[in-house]
């Protein structure tokens, strides 16, 4: 288990590096459409990284971090219909290049179509830490701050004070916090939430084939690479922010309330 935790933390740490891509800020279009040349440059960079010796024969193990960087940069601007089609066609075409990874490439297509900023968030249906079923769409009409988290994860624990503050200052507003908890022991996760005064509902991520909830069905569907991952979803169910942290989450919620 310690090795599994270490591997996820390393993956999260590596996700902070650029490796082949320009800094994220270089792709910030201030809310206007990307130039076609910038999109082609991003695709070319991603393609170079995926076909590099670093990825090589261990494509299934190494490719996700490069898509993580690619999507983070696409989140910095608006994509035209033609650009949308171009990116989807490129990702689809990777199935021919890497025929043994159809399932993983399909997951990136799902991410591009449903998990980017500006897309309507896919529903989550599952059981909470007490075993009761509920779903994300139950909260349509309210701003949802969705945390993929776990007490095993140091940066996730660092979000607890901001979660408590958000719960306090948004108690009279149409804002709800929800979590997808990836701790191994569901009962222990519930005790931690109670002890930390994290009074919001969480799905339990569930088990994958290896017995690790970090790769359970909900994190897998949402293509989670690093922990925590935080989505802010508006009243219509549209993703408005992704991967903000700490006080920036609170500021983004206040901006949506305006």
Domain at 237, CATH number: 3.40.30.10
Q: How far apart are CA 125 and CA 195, in angstroms?
A: 26
CB count within 10 Å of CB 127 equals 13
Q: What is the pLDDT of residues 113-165, one digit of tens each?
A: 999 999 999 999 999 999 999 999 999 999 999 999 999 999 999 999 999 99
With the C-alpha atoms ordered 223, 225, 227, 230, is the resulting torsion angle positive or negative? negative
Does residue 79 sit in the same domain as residue 190? no
Q: How far apart are CA 131 and CA 188, in angstroms?
A: 14
Kindly state whether residue 120 falls inside one of the protein's structural domains: no
For each of the chain's 258 residues, which pLDDT tens digit applies? 433 443 344 344 444 456 788 888 888 888 899 999 999 999 999 999 998 866 766 777 788 889 999 999 999 999 999 999 999 999 999 999 888 889 999 999 999 999 999 999 999 999 999 999 999 999 999 999 999 999 999 999 999 999 999 999 999 999 999 999 999 888 999 999 999 999 999 999 876 666 677 788 999 999 998 899 999 999 999 999 998 999 999 999 999 999
Average pLDDT, the chain: 89
Q: How far apart are CA 180 and CA 160, in angstroms?
A: 14
| Start-to-end C-alpha separation, the chain | 44
Domain interval for residue 69? 2-114
Number of domains in the chain: 2
Kindly state whether residue 119 falls inside one of the protein's structural domains: no
CA angle 143, 148, 152 (to 5 degrees): 145
């Amino acid at each position: 288990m310690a090795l599994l935790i270490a591997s996820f933390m390393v993956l999260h740490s590596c996700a902070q590096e650029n490796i082949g891509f320009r800094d994220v800020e270089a792709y910030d279009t201030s809310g206007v459409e990307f130039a076609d040349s910038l999109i082609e440059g991003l695709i070319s960079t991603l393609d170079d990284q995926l076909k590099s010796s670093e990825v090589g024969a261990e494509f299934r193990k190494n490719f996700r971090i490069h898509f993580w960087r690619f999507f983070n940069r696409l989140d910095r601007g608006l994509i035209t219909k033609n650009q949308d089609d171009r990116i989807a066609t490129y990702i689809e075409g990777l199935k021919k290049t890497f025929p043994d990874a159809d399932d993983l490439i399909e997951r990136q297509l799902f991410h591009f179509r449903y998990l980017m900023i500006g897309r309507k968030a896919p529903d989550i249906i599952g059981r909470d830490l007490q075993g009761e079923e509920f779903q994300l769409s139950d909260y349509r009409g309210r701003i949802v701050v969705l945390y993929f988290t776990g007490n095993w994860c140091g940066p996730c624990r660092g979000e607890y004070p901001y979660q408590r503050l958000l719960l306090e200052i948004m108690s009279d507003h149409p804002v709800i916090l929800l979590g997808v908890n990836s701790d191994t022991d569901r009962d222990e996760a519930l005790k931690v939430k109670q002890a930390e005064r994290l009074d919001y509902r969480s799905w339990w991520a569930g088990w994958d084939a290896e017995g690790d909830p970090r790769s359970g069905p909900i994190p897998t569907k949402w293509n989670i690479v690093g922990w925590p991952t935080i989505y802010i979803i508006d009243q219509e169910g549209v993703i408005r922010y992704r991967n903000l942290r700490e006080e920036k989450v609170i500021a983004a919620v206040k901006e949506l309330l305006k």
